[in-house]
Structure 1
Amino acid sequence: MDADARAALDLLLTERDITRLVHEYCHGIDKRDEARFLAVWSEDAVWQVGADTVFRGQEGILAAAQQQWDTFRQMHHWSANLVLSVDPGEDRATGESDVDITVEMGDGSWVRGGGAYRDTYVREHGRWAIGRRESVGHFHLYGESADIR
């Protein structure tokens, strides 16, 4: 395999691995799977969920997720429109995706919202991870209860 083919293959595998991170984040947070959720984050990751709300490191990020799990009866995240910027041969990439979120509050009411994730990904110990995730452009729609048939 020549150098151009190797570079193209590395780029495709990188994009596949990072895309999977974006989806694993949703599965981990929604299914309350600590191991799955933590596996997407780098060791010193930063999760900025609001202008003044930032969680640092895997312990801080897990504590924030556990607080959400205690607050919401259920959560559903859907990420779409992922656009990646990868510099071939680098251990860093960036991406942006849109997110749609639906949560059931403790009183049974529902909140639907969305926004975007702006991410920085890092390759550490041979695997890709989210190094920084910033949530931006939030909106929320509040409802009473849902009867979906």
Structure 2
Amino acid sequence: MYKELEARLDAIESRFAIDALIANYAEAFDTMNMELLATLWHPESRLLLGANGNAEGLDAILAQARVNMARMPHMHHWMANALITVDGDNGHGLVAADCLFYDVNQGPLQVSGQYRDVYLRRDGRWAFLERTFTMHYATPLQNWVPVMGTERFGRAS
């Protein structure tokens, strides 16, 4: 009975940890926090963003993130409808994403798609092993300009 209870508790704690991992991914890109971003991966992880770059290994992921952050100095990610399965130290997920970007070449864009994730717990820490983005669509937001709020396009250097 205690083994079953421990397994159920571990599954719940794992789910919370993976939910935090997903939210911290969005937070890291939206605030351009490279230190936070570096904590979300194992050294051999892969981030596959298709047209926005594919990277294998932590150093390559961080390098690609810097390129994307320079090209899109304003990002806002909404992650939703996370379907996560956990089996011991392994997990898989499907996560819907709706994103608002200011691309320095294209202007404001709304991008929607889905992340297909592989999670791995190593030494008690959940991290992405692989994150693959499939874009459903990207829509230019012509004449879209924020008129109030704390965010603005671009960031002070």
The two structures share one fold, judged by TM-score above 0.5 = yes
Single out whichever of 97-106 and 136-145 deviates more from structure 2: 136-145
Helix, strand or coil at the partner of 2:28: helix
Q: How many residues align?
A: 147
C-alpha root-mean-square deviation of aligned residues, in Å? 1.9
**Residues 76 and 51 (structure 1), Cα distance of their counterparts in 2 relative to 1, 3 Å cut:** closer
Cα deviation digits, residues 7-55 of structure 1 (max 9, x gap): 1100000000001000000000110101111111111100111189420
Unaligned runs of 5+ in 1: none
Are the aligned partners of 2:111 and 2:135 in contact in 1 as well (CA < 8 Å)?
no
Query: TM-score if structure 2 supplies the norm length?
Result: 0.87
Alignment match, 1:141: 139
1 CA distance for matches of 2:127 and 2:143? 36
Are the aligned partners of 2:114 and 2:134 in contact in 1 as well (CA < 8 Å)?
yes
Alignment match, 1:124: 122
Helix, strand or coil at the partner of 1:147: coil
Unaligned runs of 5+ in 2: 148-157
Are the aligned partners of 1:109 and 1:145 in contact in 2 as well (CA < 8 Å)?
no
2 CA distance for matches of 1:83 and 1:126? 22
2 CA distance for matches of 1:103 and 1:137? 14
Are the aligned partners of 1:85 and 1:93 in contact in 2 as well (CA < 8 Å)?
yes
Detail structure 1 runs of 4+ shifted over 6 Å in the superposition: none
**Residues 81 and 126 (structure 1), Cα distance of their counterparts in 2 relative to 1, 3 Å cut:** same
Alignment match, 1:54: 54
